[in-house]
Amino acid sequence: MIIFGVDPGTILTGFGIINFQKNQLRYVNSGIIKPNPKELLSIKLKQIYLELDLQIKKYNPDVFCIETAFYGKNVQSAMKIGYVRGISMLVASINDVVTYEYSPR
Structural domains for the chain: 2-102 (3.30.420.10)
Q: Measured between alpha carbons, how far is 59 from 76 in angstroms, rounded to an integer?
A: 33
Among residues 84, 72, 50, 64, the alpha carbon closest in space to that of 17 is found at: 64
pLDDT in tens, the chain (105 residues): 999 999 999 899 999 999 999 999 999 999 999 999 999 999 999 999 999 999 999 999 999 999 887 666 778 888 888 999 999 999 999 999 999 999 877
Pairing of strands 24-33, 63-67: unpaired
Give the pTM.
0.91
